């Protein structure tokens, strides 16, 4: 814990900023990958598709949170580097995580469409209650994840550029005008006038007679 106290918290701050958009990227991506409808038998004996189970939904959220937790952990470990460029580490981790989530979106969206042949609402197209056509929700989720992924990558690149510019500015010696040292104190120090110790009737003044000390209060 002592190593965290004196270190810069910039890497942890960068990880925290990137965590929010990355969470929603993971939520959309893993919904396409892991979401599947539940199955039940109707009264007519046919197999019907229903909403995903709570376990499936919980798994999607847990995996998305795990990705964000890993990013925050990288930011916390980068604090221990005690470097002015330590904020680059979680930024690069955010870029890598976003790219890994964006690359398979097309495949995951196609697989999700096959699992929901009637659309995400599992309602036939001819029904008046049908709200989503087949593949419609998958296209929206893919677009949303792609946009949020680009936002995450853009924020990460901005953090990297800012860290490098600040380090370049520091090395060029233009961090700011130097702070002037405090003025030097010259002259003889003054004795407090509250109590003055006066040497009275000293041997030098009295010609060798025994002197005495006298206190004079002001």
- Which pLDDT score, from 0 to 100, does residue 103 have? 96
| Structural domain range at position 55 | 2-41+48-171
| In a domain? residue 209 | no
| CA proximity to 112, closest of 144, 97, 134, 145 | 134
**Looking at residue 188, what is its pLDDT?**
54
Q: pTM, whole model, 2 decimals? A: 0.71
Low-confidence ranges of the chain (pLDDT < 50): 194-197, 199-200, 203-205, 211, 213, 217-218
Question: How many structural domains does the chain have?
Answer: 1
Q: Identify the pLDDT of residue 152.
A: 97
What is the pLDDT, as a whole number, of residue 6?
60
Is residue 213 one of the residues assigned to a domain? Answer: no
Alpha-carbon gap, residue 29 to 63, rounded angstroms: 10
Planar angle of CA 37, 40, 44, nearest 5 degrees: 135
CA dist., res. 141 & res. 26, Å (int):
11
Q: Is residue 196 part of a domain?
A: no
> Does a structural domain hold residue 206?
no
pLDDT at 49: 75
On whether residue 145 sits in a domain, the answer given is yes
Count of CA atoms in the C-beta half-sphere (13 A) of 185: 3
Asked if residue 177 is part of any domain, the answer here is: no
pLDDT at 218: 46
pLDDT (0 to 100) of residue 199: 46
185 in any annotated domain: no
Domain membership of residue 97 (yes or no) is yes
pLDDT at residue number 204: 46
């Amino acid at each position: 814990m002592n190593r965290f106290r004196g270190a810069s918290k910039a890497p942890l701050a960068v990880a925290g900023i990137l965590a929010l958009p990355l969470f929603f990227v993971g939520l959309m991506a893993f919904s396409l990958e892991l979401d599947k409808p539940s199955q039940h038998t109707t009264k007519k004996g046919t197999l019907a598709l229903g909403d995903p189970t709570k376990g499936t939904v919980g798994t999607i959220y847990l995996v998305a949170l795990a990705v964000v937790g890993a990013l925050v952990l990288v930011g916390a470990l980068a604090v221990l580097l005690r470097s002015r460029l330590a904020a680059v580490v979680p930024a690069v981790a955010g870029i890598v995580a976003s790219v890994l989530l964006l690359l398979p979106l097309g495949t995951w969206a196609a697989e999700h469409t096959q699992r929901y042949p009637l659309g995400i609402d599992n309602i036939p197209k001819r029904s008046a209650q049908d709200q989503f056509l087949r593949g419609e929700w998958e296209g929206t989720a893919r677009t949303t994840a792609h946009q949020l992924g680009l936002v995450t990558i853009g924020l990460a690149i901005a953090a990297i550029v800012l860290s490098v510019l600040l380090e370049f500015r520091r090395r060029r010696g233009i961090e700011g005008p130097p702070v002037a040292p405090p003025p030097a104190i010259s002259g003889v120090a003054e004795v407090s006038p509250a109590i003055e110790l006066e040497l009275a009737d000293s041997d030098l003044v009295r010609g060798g007679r025994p002197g005495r000390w006298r206190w004079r209060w002001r």
